[in-house]
Amino acid sequence: MKITQKTFLLLGVIIGVSAINLYLLVSTAQENQAVLHSISDANDLKVIVERIAGTANSIASGNEQDRSTLQTEMDDFDTIYSVLGAGGTHKGYSVVTVPLELKSVYEEVDNSWQQYKIDAETIKKESVFNPQVVDSLKYILGKNGDLLSLANGITNDLAPLDRNFNRHKQIAAEMVTTAKDIAEKTLLISIGEQGNTTAAIKKDRVFFDADLKKLEDLPLDSPEFNAYDITQESLQQIPRENSDSIRQLDPLWEAVRVKIMFIESNPILSKEFGAALRSLDDHRTTLLGISSTFVDGWNQLIDSKLHDRVMVVQALLIVDIAVFVLVMLSIRKSLSPLGMMIKTIGRIREGFYGEKIEYTANDEIGELSATFNAMSSTIKMKDEETKKMEMAKDEFLAMITHELKTPLVPIQGYSDILIGEHLGPLNKNQKDRLEVIRSSSATLLQLISDLLDAQKLELGQLRIKKSNNNLRETMEKTIVAMAPQTMSDQISLTHNVTQDLYANYDNDRITQVLMNLIKNSFKACSPKVGKIEISAEEHPTEVIVSVKDNGRGIPADAIDNIFKKFYQVDTSLTREKGGSGLGLSICKGIIEAHGGRIWGQSQPNKGATFSFSIPKSEDSRTAI
């Protein structure tokens, strides 16, 4: 019999059994539909309670349009509760009356609901925000532009003064930053994020006030200044012609400062609304508990009544299982030749092209085998052609990158000579253009070097000269080499290896890996606050080196692709800082050529850590 004929026969058996099961299930479902709908409505009571709580919080966040939603949700609860008590129809389906055994719990739900409903009604009617706090916020937000403008004006007024006023200029710059922070935190409070922001804006107020008093040469006699370790400074008095912005800022700041102090000591939510919101949350827990007891009791009551029907269903399941076992055995016997085909396909998937299936029966699988054998031969032929083309392409790319690198050396050399004015003096514009030429040629040279290294890795031609080296010395030399960029980007670069740590590796290549990882961290870190730390851990058979930073991190969906050639994380940082996308790919190739492994770990906005292992030779040692 043909396989298709057997299949149709077995499908007919399965469809017949399924039809019987479907009939029994439908008939049982119709009998219990009204009861199940009632249980569903009882569960909806809990859902509505949670929705009311969520809507109340949404109103607290300033969404006034949700007040009508809150009324709709309360009406929905009343409707469902009434239908469960009297029975009838709800949303087009039948609902049974609450059983007598559950009447007492049903009434407890109503009692708890009435208390919950009172709180919800209060929330629906009461004003959310304290009007005085809102007015203060509006005033501050309206004056933020003037405050920042005058702070910048002080900076401009002090700019012409000599170095005796450097501290004054520094204080003015701090005031500009603090004014921006005040604007940002005021906006956060206005959208409901008061919490920790209140303490932060208080700190900004105290520091701004202290800075203004310092510039005005006024005493810092407020206890608030002591709380933040702000001390009096002896500063030279600012000339009157350079203090116009300070005189204008003083009355404006006095008015803004009073408003900020009011915000610090008063919540943005009105007292009545806040009390109702807290009471609603307390009653919500009670109402949910009673509702759950009500629903659980009803479910237990139904379970006891359906016990006999469960026995019938179990008997039907046994019959169904027996039928399906017989069908599966028959299908397995008919399709057993496919196992041989799957094994052959698996071999081809592993790269053993040209594999043939030895099956000569005159059926559908026999025809499939003949077609598959022809396809396998074609794949083998195409694979051999592809390998030849890939090898030619790789050799051509290696030649081109090498040839491109040759003319760049004199370009860089003559650029350095011209910039050094060895061939005559240059004006500023000429130097700027030559700097562009030198920077661009250096970038292109680095890209070509990366391409050469990547191509050597592809062709297996990258030379690795291993020897017993001290990892601590390698780290220290790398940090020294990166010092100019560290100082330029104002980023901290350190290591925590305090003892000599020996391993068997190519010093130049591992230094290349460390520099690539550090450069990536430079791109991710912000100036002044960026920190990069190199560490090492010794294990019995290997040494693990890690480069950790506190930058903006890597998205979780990109961490698995970062070691692929030319892959770059699609962020504004990547586009700004540039890069070939080959650095991590080359690192991976170098580490794997040492017999190690490399991996990365990161969380967005929490930094990233890249680690790699170097296997230890038998004579590797740790000297203390």
The span from the CA of 517 to the CA of 610, in Å, is 7
Residue 552 is which amino acid?
R
User: pLDDT-derived band of residue 621, with 50, 70 and 90 as boundaries?
Assistant: very low
Tokens, residue 505:
């590796």
More confident residue, 566 or 503: 503
Residue 328, both tokens:
């599966």
| CB-based contacts of 213, cutoff 8 Å, min separation 6 | 219, 220
Does pLDDT of 2 surpass 70? no
- Residue 548 confidence (pLDDT): 94
Quick check: 565 and 582 in contact, CB under 8 A?
yes
Burial label, 52 (beta-carbon count in 10 A; 0-12, 13-18, 19+): buried
620 pLDDT tier (thresholds 50, 70, 90):
very low
Angle at 483 between CA 555 and CA 436, to 5 degrees: 80
8 A C-beta contact, residue 408 and residue 444 = yes
Instruction: Report which listed range, 262-266, 401-405, 514-518, is most confident.
Output: 514-518
pLDDT of residue 395: 67
Other CB atoms within 10 Å distance of the CB of residue 414: 16
Least confident of 204-213, 283-292, 346-355, 521-530: 346-355
CA dist 461 and 454 (Å) reads 10
Per-residue model confidence as pLDDT tens digits over 367-399: 777 787 778 788 878 777 777 776 766 666 666
Of 35 and 142, more confident = 142
- Torsion angle in degrees (nearest 10) through CA of 547, 553, 554, 555: 150
Average pLDDT for residues 334-362, to the nearest whole number?
70
Residues in CB range of 299: below 8 A, 6 or more apart: 39
Per-residue pLDDT averaged across 131-137, rounded? 77
Rounded CA-CA distance 354/382 in Å is: 11
| Cα 569 to Cα 571: distance, rounded to the nearest angstrom | 6
Q: How high is the mean pLDDT of the chain? A: 81
Confidence category of residue 573, pLDDT binned at 50, 70, 90? very low
Side-chain-facing half-sphere of 278: CA atoms under 13 Å = 6
Specify the range with the lowest mean pLDDT, choosing from 40-49, 120-129, 135-144, 444-453. 444-453
DSSP states along 288-338: HHHHHHHHHHHHHHHHHHTHHHHHHHHHHHHHHHHHHHHHHHHHHHHHTTH
| pLDDT for residue 344 | 74
- What are the pLDDT digits (tens) for 17-73? 677 777 766 766 655 677 788 888 889 888 998 999 898 888 777 787 888 898 999
Q: What is the pLDDT of residue 603?
A: 83
Average pLDDT of 413-420? 79
Task: Find the distance separating the first CA and the last CA of the chain, reported in whole Å.
Answer: 80
**List of E strands, 408-512:** 467-470, 492-495, 502-505
- Regarding pTM above 0.75, the answer is no
Say how far apart CA 417 and CA 415 lie, in whole Å.
Answer: 5
Give Cα separations from 357 to 34, 197, 354, 485 (angstroms). 59, 72, 10, 62
Mean of pLDDT values over 347-362: 70
Q: Which residues of 247-283 are buried (b: 16+ CB within 10 A; e: fewer)?
A: eebbeebeebbebbebbeeeebbbeebbebbebbeeb
pLDDT tens digits, residue range 178-198? Answer: 999 988 888 887 776 656 788
Element (H, E) at 429: helix 428-459
Cα separations in angstroms, 310 against 25, 35, 324: 12, 16, 21
> Is pLDDT larger for residue 173 or for residue 278?
173
Show the tokens assigned to 212. 């203004």
Provide mean pLDDT across the span 159-176: 91
pLDDT at residue 125 tops 50: yes
- Highest-confidence range of 52-61, 83-92, 408-417, 594-603, by mean pLDDT? 594-603
Q: For the residues of 593-619, what is the DSSP string, one character each?
A: HTT--EEEEE-TTS-EEEEEEEEPPTT
User: What percent of the chain is predicted at pLDDT more than 70?
Assistant: 81
**pLDDT band for position 176 (cuts 50, 70, 90):** very high
Cα–Cα distance, 365 to 342 (Å, whole number): 12
Query: Minimal CA–CA distance to 579: which of 509, 517, 507?
Result: 517
C-alpha dihedral, 228 to 232 to 237 to 243, nearest 10°: 20
User: Residue 469 — left, alpha, or beta (φ > 0 → left; ψ -120 to 50 → alpha)?
Assistant: beta
Distance CA 89, CA 80 (A): 10
Mean pLDDT over 77-106 rounds to 86
- In eight-state DSSP terms, residue 39 is H
User: Residue 544: what are its φ and ψ, rounded to 5°?
Assistant: -110, 120
Do 545 and 471 form a contact (C-beta atoms < 8 A)?
A: yes
Query: Tell me, what's the pLDDT at 578?
Result: 52
Mean pLDDT value across residues 448-474: 77
Rounded distance between C-alpha atoms, residue 56 and residue 81, angstroms: 21
Distances (CA, A) of 176 to 151, 156, 181, 326, 365: 5, 11, 9, 82, 80
Residue 495 — φ and ψ, nearest 5°? -135, 160
The amino acid sitting at 569 is V
H or E stretch covering 32: helix 3-60
Sorting pLDDT into bands at 50, 70 and 90, what band is 152?
Answer: very high
pLDDT over 60 at 572, yes or no: no
Helices 3-60, 364-419: crossing angle, 10 deg rounding: 40
In this predicted model, which residue has the larger pLDDT, 218 or 265? 218
